[in-house]
Amino acid sequence: MAVIIFLLIVLAVLVYRHYTWKPLPWPTGALQPPPYQGHRGYWKAGARENTMLSFEAAKTRGLTMIEMDIRLSKDQVPVVFHDTDLKRIANLEKIVHESTAQELREWAQAPSLEEVLLSQKIPQYLNIELKSAAIFDGTLEREVARLLKKYDMEKRVLFSSFNPLSLWRLSRYLPNVPRALLASKEDEPENKIYLRQMWLAPYVKIHALHLDYHYVDVKQLQKWQKRKIPVALWTVNDLDLAKKYLDAGALSIITDSLGEVVDSSPGNKAGEPKP
């Protein structure tokens, strides 16, 4: 009987913690996300997603922040690539972590993170999503942190990941860089219930949530606001919906097609941004 009572108390504490947790305060001096972030750069005009061309196109478009995906190559280089394999992007039966950084560049135009950090042709701010399911291996986080420190980029970067442990590891390497937990309620085998319900959110030292907009209406966003939890939404491509979210207090909108476009017509010498 005592064991049952103890377990019920523990369960009650966990449930209470889940519904009352608060994020860490936003780090002093860290970037403040703009209203719109280019999802994998800007590739709607023809550039391949997550490439230098898509990042440069985002800057030309007028975006000041882009979201990108980082994985480790076979030779332990952080590379910009979303999928686990090259089937969709390059029509190749190749696995990313079994391919070298040079091979990924040749096959899929995938740049290294270091190349991105060195470029002056891309937007100033970066949302780096770490694609890792590792529980114990912190190689990806360690290598990314090393590069950011090497190029003094901590104030230009925000981290996001579906892996709570990846964010927890980053809190040790780069405590002053904002970290956001990604979550979706999509019912897929790899999207376990503890990820869908964000059960680990109170324990992994995060500053914000980045949520799939399909599962967040304006009323729910306002509830997060009351709890002082910053929420960015992905991937919103409808302008009216994006404006509703922003008006309701969304931290930022991650989008394929929205954001600023510089009007370079003769009558607009100032280059006025337009939606």
Domain of 198: which CATH number?
Answer: 3.20.20.190
Kindly state whether residue 10 falls inside one of the protein's structural domains. no
Kindly state whether residue 71 falls inside one of the protein's structural domains. yes
| β pairing state of 125-130 and 65-72 | parallel
Kindly state whether residue 257 falls inside one of the protein's structural domains. yes
What's the domain count of the chain? 1
Rounded Cα gap, residues 71 and 84, in angstroms? 9
Show the 3-state SS of the chain: CHHHHHHHHHHHHHHHHHHHCCCCCCCCCCCCCCCEEEECCCCCCCCCCCCHHHHHHHHHHCCCEEEEEEEECCCCCEEECCCCECHHHHCCCCEHHHCCHHHHHHHHCCCEHHHHHHCCCCCCEEEEEECCCCCCCCHHHHHHHHHHHHCCCHHHEEEEECCHHHHHHHHHHCCCCCEEEEECCCCCCCCCHHHHCCCCHHHCCCCEEEEEHHHCCHHHHHHHHHCCCCEEEECCCCHHHHHHHHHCCCCEEEECCCCCEECCCCCCCCCCEEC
**Token pair listed for 80:** 């910009």
pLDDT value at residue 7: 65
**Token pair listed for 232:** 């960015």
pLDDT value at residue 272: 37
pLDDT value at residue 268: 42
Rounded Cα gap, residues 115 and 20, in angstroms? 41
Kindly state whether residue 116 falls inside one of the protein's structural domains. yes
pTM: 0.93
Kindly state whether residue 53 falls inside one of the protein's structural domains. yes
Task: List the chain pLDDT tens, one digit each, 275 residues.
Answer: 777 776 667 667 667 777 899 999 999 999 999 999 999 999 999 999 999 999 999 999 999 999 999 999 999 999 999 999 999 999 999 999 999 999 999 999 999 999 999 999 999 999 999 999 999 999 999 999 999 999 999 999 999 999 999 999 999 999 999 999 999 999 888 899 999 999 999 999 999 999 999 999 999 999 999 999 999 999 999 999 999 999 999 999 999 999 988 654 544 433 334 44
Task: State the residue range of the domain holding 86.
Answer: 35-263+270-274
